[in-house]
Amino acid sequence: MALLNLGSSDPNLRTAAYNQLCALTATFDLKIEGQLLETSGLCIPSNNTIFIKSISEKLATNEPHLTLEFLEECIQGFRVSSIELKHLCLEYMTPWLGNLVRFVKPSDESKRHKQVSQILEKLILLTIEEVEMYPSIQAKIWGSIGQVPELIDMVLDNFIHKSVSAGLGSSMVEIMADTAVALASANVQLVAKKVIGRLCKVVDKTCQSPTPLLEQHMMWDDIAILARYLLMLSFNNCLDVVRHLPYLFHTVTFLVCSGSLSMRASTHGLVINIIHSLCTCTKPSFSEEIQRILRLSLDEFSLPKFYLLFGISKVKSAAVTAFRSSYRHPNERWLSTERSFSGPTSDRERLSLASLEVITDALLEIMEACMRDIPECDWLNSWTALAKSFAFCFNPALQPRALIVFGCISKSISDHDMKQLLRVLVKALESFNDIVLIEALVMCLTRLQPLLRSESPIHKALFWVATSVLQLDEASLYAAGLALLEQNLHTLDAQGTFDDRTLEQVMMSTREPLEWHFKQLDHAVGLSFKANFHFALVGHLLKGYRHPSPTTMSRTSRVLIMLLAIVAKSHKRDKFEVTPDSVAYLTALVGVSEEVRSRCHVKHSLPRYSCDSITPDNFISDGLNVLKQHHSTTVSSSSGVNRRQKSWDLLDQSAIAQAKHKQPPPHQNRSTRVSVSNENNILLDPEVLTDFSTQALVSTVMATLVKYSTDEGETRILYQYLAEGAVVFPKVFPVIYNLLDVKINNVLSTCHDQMILSAVRSIVQNMIACEDTSQQQLHYLQSCGFGGLWRFAGPFNKYNNTAESSELFVNCLEAMVETCLPVEESEGENGEMQQYSSMLSVSSNMNLSSSLSSLTMGSPTEKDRFETRDLEGGTATTLGRSSFSKQRSLKAKPPLHSDGSPIHIP
């Protein structure tokens, strides 16, 4: 009170206050070093701030035990003083703030410790309530407290507690985050370290009782508030980015596209400010080239492309949106949309894993560029360690993100870590309730495979992992599995794996120890690699043409072209030369590749009908009449038995025997043929495709492509080749009639394209010519292991026994990891996955039997059954995730001899 009144405008009050101070000094023996002497009639000027401040400084230094009581009185007097006296009060309060550290020893839980906390709370209230004094309070009080390292933790605790109590988006959060900047002004490194460290600890805590979305976790408010603090501190390098860059990038990848629109804009602003701080920092000073890269990155992150990746595509200005909550009235409560994670659809843009890959790659480019100018910089190692720690920790909200980041930024990988990832994949597939996690694991494996040592057996194993992922009939997983397959083939090819051995030899020898498991996978999907490796692989790839993503569709063509080159490599042939090995890939490409069509011709041109004879009316009526006559003949010849249910007794016995024994006739030696040129390289050449099964599979692939094609140009091309097939493979063509009958009827009824109509007429005429054999081939595809070819290649309708495929995949993958891949000494009996598996116990013990009796196999005659399952069964569209009902103890094991060795099943 005496110090405050010394600044009064009343001379008498100033004199009285001086004398009061003298009396107090004498009474309590205060050590002010004889500066005071009580005197009557003393004239004290109004401008004596320096004198008052010096007295306060001496008292603060010599009488620190008075700190708590002194500050309590100062705060009380501050509230009732004029603006002028409030400024004076701040001046003489400041010297005492450093003394608070005397009362906050870690072991001290006394009354005084609580008093310090109360004082800090009152200072926070002053900061909020004293609007006119806000800048001065920030500079004087919080700037001074920031100079005392021991107080930072306690102060931040109070800031965060107040922020969480007030709620996300409240003015309290904004003021506290702003105040943290003042706190950091005198101690940037320490405050930045404390805030970043606290955020990392809070994020770590989400692994306890994890939730599907980060926003659903009980710690979300703390995370979002600390992220707000990061944004405020990120300007002008108050985050000390050079010391903390790995932790900042780690945090960004977890927060990007999370929370409300304002929160997402804040995360984008944080990245911009981090890059800006790197551009403007002086230690280290980056070279001109690095500065250029950083400036380009600043421009890139401000593009609409990155606005979309950060989930703010609909905002005009990220900066305005980030500070949207700052413009609210101090007394206005925060809006529910700030807290909600399930707000309006227009305000929610979910982050795809592919988007996170792009963001991570961009951040990695920035980090690697800066590292070139910093000797012995370990940023990347630190970031990789952070990502890895979450990649192997069960946390549905963050683990998929960590896996993507780990895959993107890793510079090396061990067989042990790859096996651990495969173990995590086993656990994820067992429950099959988190598609995003499975997708992230496959994408991570894709990025890591090129880093494996070239001699690692995991390379070849990943081929079968990729094909098994394709079988799961889930669009997002198919895209990831196809990318893994492409990377796998590219890596193995670059290593020279296919220089001397064929693709089939390499891959079939890899799966031989697990043939019992793979046989079941083949049986479930209806594509037998053992019967015909190349057509089984093509059968998996045809589905890529029906994928909703143009990227996956183009990748499908790219993989098929790569396979053409690989198949030709070991034989030193032109990749477009038609052979029994290459024809599967050429057939799959002929409808979409102009180059394939130009190199692989049709031998017979379609008959050219006159304009009168091919008018839509007479052609359609003639065609439909032919089909009706053919159908009636077929019914009568079967003695009342529907042609779709014809007995196996009528099958071509030689074809069945050939399929069962998996022994195609020996291929014609290339040297006995006329030299292959562009002119005589015929796609459907009976001299090259000599065995019945190859002819049947080529025709089936074409018919399947026609069945599901929606592109008129592609359909026109495929019908031309099918018309050729009907001529050169007349005995085979009935195998595929069931795939074409509905499509042909539609063409005859609705199509006006003369080229297509000519091809269809040719097909119908040749079909009639060989009608006596049409009954004999209905089940041929099943007999040769390809009953699922037509069905699997269709759209992603989720009716292909996904739960069953997933269970079989789990059994196979688990056997592969535990028995066929190398075991390192550092691995225990169960590796490091015990803790992880316990966290996945929700449904990991629920399984289906792998008995062959439980497997279903469709046929071309069942084409109508699946199209109504969504209406009939209800659960058919849920990927069967809820259908696991049998115990894990029923997991299939191969039959054993009495000595324990497995019995070979041909």
Residues 815, 452 contacting (CB under 8 angstroms): no
- For the ranges 86-100, 367-381, 491-505, which has the lowest average pLDDT? 86-100
Confidence (pLDDT) at 349: 66
Q: What is the pLDDT of residues 671-688, one digit of tens each?
A: 344 445 667 889 999 999
- Beta-carbon contacts of 282 under 8 Å, excluding residues fewer than 6 positions away, are none
For residue 610, pLDDT over 60 is answered with no
Confidence (pLDDT) at 199: 95
Confidence (pLDDT) at 894: 47
Sign of CA dihedral 369, 370, 373, 378: negative
- Rounded Cα gap, residues 257 and 404, in angstroms: 15
Q: Tokens at residue 268, please?
A: 């984008």
For residue 656, pLDDT over 60 is answered with no
Most confident of the ranges 152-156, 157-161, 527-531: 527-531
CA dihedral 345, 346, 350, 355 (to 10 degrees): 160
Confidence (pLDDT) at 644: 31
Tell me what the pLDDT averaged over the chain comes to. 79
- pLDDT > 70: what percent of the chain? 72
Which comes out higher in pLDDT, residue 605 or 327? 605
Q: What is the pLDDT of residues 70-89, one digit of tens each?
A: 899 899 989 888 888 898 88
- Rounded Cα gap, residues 549 and 553, in angstroms: 6
pTM: 0.81
Confidence (pLDDT) at 813: 93
pLDDT band at 309 (very low <50, low <70, confident <90, very high): very high
For residue 846, pLDDT over 60 is answered with no
DSSP run (H or E) holding 847: strand 846-847
Within 328-414, where are the H helices?
A: 336-339, 353-371, 379-391, 399-409
- For the ranges 302-316, 330-344, 433-447, 619-633, which has the lowest average pLDDT? 330-344
Confidence (pLDDT) at 665: 41
Confidence (pLDDT) at 144: 92
Confidence (pLDDT) at 6: 61
Confidence (pLDDT) at 498: 95
Q: Tokens at residue 302, please?
A: 């401000």
Per-residue burial over 764-783, b = 16 or more CB atoms within 10 Å of its CB, e = otherwise: bebbeeeeeebbbbbbbbbb
- For the ranges 302-306, 510-514, 584-588, 832-836, which has the lowest average pLDDT? 832-836
Helix 458-470 to helix 802-815 angle (10° resolution) is 170
Which comes out higher in pLDDT, residue 444 or 857? 444
For residue 464, pLDDT over 60 is answered with yes
CA dihedral 273, 274, 277, 278 (to 10 degrees): -140
pLDDT band at 454 (very low <50, low <70, confident <90, very high): very high
For residue 899, pLDDT over 60 is answered with no
For residue 608, pLDDT over 70 is answered with no
- Rounded Cα gap, residues 548 and 169, in angstroms: 39
- Rounded Cα gap, residues 718 and 845, in angstroms: 47
Q: Tokens at residue 597, please?
A: 């069509």
610 three-state secondary structure: coil
Most confident of the ranges 252-266, 626-640, 825-839: 252-266
Residues 660, 577 contacting (CB under 8 angstroms): no
For residue 286, pLDDT over 60 is answered with yes
Which comes out higher in pLDDT, residue 861 or 7? 7
* Residue 897: CB atoms within 10 Å: 9
For residue 332, pLDDT over 80 is answered with no
pLDDT band at 551 (very low <50, low <70, confident <90, very high): very high
- Rounded Cα gap, residues 901 and 906, in angstroms: 16
Q: What is the DSSP string of 852-890?
A: GGG-----GGGTTTGGGHHHHTSGGGGTTTT---EEGGG
841 three-state secondary structure: coil
Confidence (pLDDT) at 426: 95
Confidence (pLDDT) at 851: 32
For residue 839, pLDDT over 80 is answered with no
Please give the DSSP secondary-structure letter assigned to residue 846: E
pLDDT band at 53 (very low <50, low <70, confident <90, very high): confident
For residue 329, pLDDT over 90 is answered with no
- Rounded Cα gap, residues 117 and 104, in angstroms: 9
Confidence (pLDDT) at 768: 77
Confidence (pLDDT) at 258: 94
Most confident of the ranges 40-49, 155-164, 500-509, 643-652: 500-509
Residues 787, 535 contacting (CB under 8 angstroms): no
Mean pLDDT of 836-841: 39
Cα atoms found within 13 Å of the Cα of residue 31, Cβ hemisphere only: 8
For residue 887, pLDDT over 60 is answered with no
Q: What is the pLDDT of residues 199-245, one digit of tens each?
A: 999 999 999 999 999 999 999 999 999 999 999 999 888 889 999 99
Residues 355, 476 contacting (CB under 8 angstroms): no
Using H for helix, E for strand and C for coil, what is the string for 423-454? HHHHHHHHHCCCHHHHHHHHHHHHHHHHHCCC
- pLDDT > 90: what percent of the chain? 49
Within 471-599, where are the H helices?
A: 475-494, 503-511, 515-525, 533-541, 550-569, 583-589, 594-599
DSSP run (H or E) holding 697: helix 692-708
- Rounded Cα gap, residues 136 and 208, in angstroms: 42
Rg (CA), the chain: 38
191, with CB counted inside 10 A (0-12, 13-18, 19+), is buried
Q: What is the DSSP string of 76-145?
A: HHHHTS-HHHHHHHHHHHHHHHGGGGGG--TT--SHHHHHHHHHHHHHHHHHHH-STTHHHHIIIIIHHH
Distances (CA, A) of 777 to 365, 650, 760: 59, 8, 21
Per-residue burial over 137-158, b = 16 or more CB atoms within 10 Å of its CB, e = otherwise: bbebbbbbbbebeebbebbbeb
For residue 179, pLDDT over 60 is answered with yes
- Rounded Cα gap, residues 403 and 711, in angstroms: 38
For residue 442, pLDDT over 60 is answered with yes
* Residue with the two structure tokens 């620190």: 64
Mean pLDDT of 841-865: 35
Residues 684, 603 contacting (CB under 8 angstroms): yes
pLDDT band at 327 (very low <50, low <70, confident <90, very high): very low
175, with CB counted inside 10 A (0-12, 13-18, 19+), is buried
For residue 67, pLDDT over 70 is answered with yes
Most confident of the ranges 44-48, 113-117, 223-227, 336-340: 223-227
Confidence (pLDDT) at 601: 84
Q: What is the pLDDT of residues 355-373, one digit of tens each?
A: 999 999 999 999 999 999 9
Q: What is the pLDDT of residues 101-143, one digit of tens each?
A: 988 876 556 777 888 989 999 999 999 999 999 999 999 999 9
Confidence (pLDDT) at 589: 96
